[in-house]
């Protein structure tokens, strides 16, 4: 009996040990851990590599699309921003616009906005007349530049080749300016506007003053094709006006006029060719000059009577 009990006990012990082995969790070896974790690492790496490849192909496709459609993009910029090119093209007139607005602003503080705009518009017509005629005779000139209380001017990048060319350019300003004054007078007749009448009077006065036969005024340039000796008549008239009105600008013009007379007398032999003008053209310029002086004088007198 003791033997059976001992055998039974041994069997019970073996059974209990087997049950304990079944209940304990299975430990993973290094090989098992490598087999279970390595496939996951390879999978994530392959996904990342695939993403990088797709990103590279997408970037390359984008660059190729830009290169392929670059000309269309350039055309788009030209059509949408063509005003920039126009602005650059017209950049040479930028000084004209800036000086014009500055002059209007200064005059507006004294005379009011409407009258200031009118005066600058008349000055612009005068100078644009010089500009157009200068271009017609082939002279390189800049756009008009305005100077408050002085007037305006166009810069001549080259000198006229003879007195006839100089006279043509000089005549263009008073001609266009006088037409502007006549338009203002017509506006007064049509509307009865005192502003239009005042501008007409101003236009007649400014252009008549510019026709004084004194260099560098327009009149002095015009009569150079008639006879430079007419400068000797204009200078005393300007001196009288200088003392009567006491204007420093007139002092400057007198000084410049006397300087030009001195240069002509000193270099009369060299300049004689410059002032050689056929008699027919001398007569034509004389008629044009004195005719415009007469018309402006009548217009000025008429406008002055209306203002009174």
Q: For residue range 163-182, list pLDDT tens digits in order.
A: 999 999 999 999 999 999 99
Confidence of residue 24 (pLDDT cuts 50, 70, 90): very low
Residue 73 and residue 289: Cα distance in Å, rounded? 58
Confidence of residue 162 (pLDDT cuts 50, 70, 90): very high
19: pLDDT strictly greater than 60: no
Contacts (Cβ under 8 Å, ≥6 apart) of 130: 141, 154, 169, 170, 172, 173
18: pLDDT strictly greater than 70: no
Tell me if 222 sits within 8 A of 167, measured CB to CB: yes
* Mean pLDDT, the chain, whole residue set: 78
Confidence of residue 90 (pLDDT cuts 50, 70, 90): low
In the DSSP assignment, the letter for residue 72 is: H
Tell me if 253 sits within 8 A of 238, measured CB to CB: yes
What is the reported pTM? 0.69
Residue of 159, 152, 187 lying closest to 173 (CA atoms) = 152
Residue 254 and residue 95: Cα distance in Å, rounded? 28
- Token couple for 119: 């005066």
**Which segments within the chain are labelled E, that is strand?**
141-147, 151-156
Residue of 166, 174, 173, 124 lying closest to 144 (CA atoms) = 124
């Amino acid at each position: 009996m003791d033997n059976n009990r001992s055998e039974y006990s041994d069997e019970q012990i073996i059974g209990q040990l087997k049950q304990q082995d079944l209940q304990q969790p299975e430990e993973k070896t290094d090989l098992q851990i490598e087999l279970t974790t390595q496939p996951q690492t390879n999978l994530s790496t392959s996904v990342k590599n695939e993403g990088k490849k797709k990103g590279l192909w997408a970037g390359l496709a984008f660059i190729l699309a830009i290169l392929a459609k670059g000309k269309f993009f350039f055309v788009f910029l030209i059509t949408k921003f063509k005003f920039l090119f126009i602005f650059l093209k017209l950049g040479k007139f930028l000084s004209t616009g800036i000086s014009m607005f500055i002059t209007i602003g200064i005059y507006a503080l004294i005379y009011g906005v409407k009258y200031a705009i009118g005066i600058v518009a008349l000055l612009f017509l005068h100078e644009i007349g010089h500009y157009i005629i200068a271009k017609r005779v082939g002279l390189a000139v800049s756009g008009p530049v305005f100077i408050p209380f002085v007037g305006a001017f166009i810069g001549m990048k080259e000198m006229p080749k003879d007195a006839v060319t100089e006279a043509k350019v000089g005549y263009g300003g008073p001609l266009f300016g006088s037409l502007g004054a006549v338009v203002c007078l017509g506006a007064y007749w049509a509307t009865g506007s005192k502003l239009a009448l005042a501008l007409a009077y101003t236009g007649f006065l400014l252009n008549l003053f510019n026709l004084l036969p004194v260099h560098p005024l327009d009149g002095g340039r015009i009569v150079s094709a008639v006879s430079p000796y007419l400068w000797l008549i204009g200078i005393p008239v300007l001196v009288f006006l200088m003392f009567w009105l006491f204007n420093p600008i007139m002092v400057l013009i007198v000084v410049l006029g006397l300087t030009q007379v001195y240069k002509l007398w000193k270099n009369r032999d060299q300049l004689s060719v410059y002032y050689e003008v056929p008699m027919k053209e001398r007569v034509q310029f004389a008629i044009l000059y004195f005719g415009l002086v007469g018309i402006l004088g009548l217009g000025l007198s008429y406008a002055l009577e209306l203002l009174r």
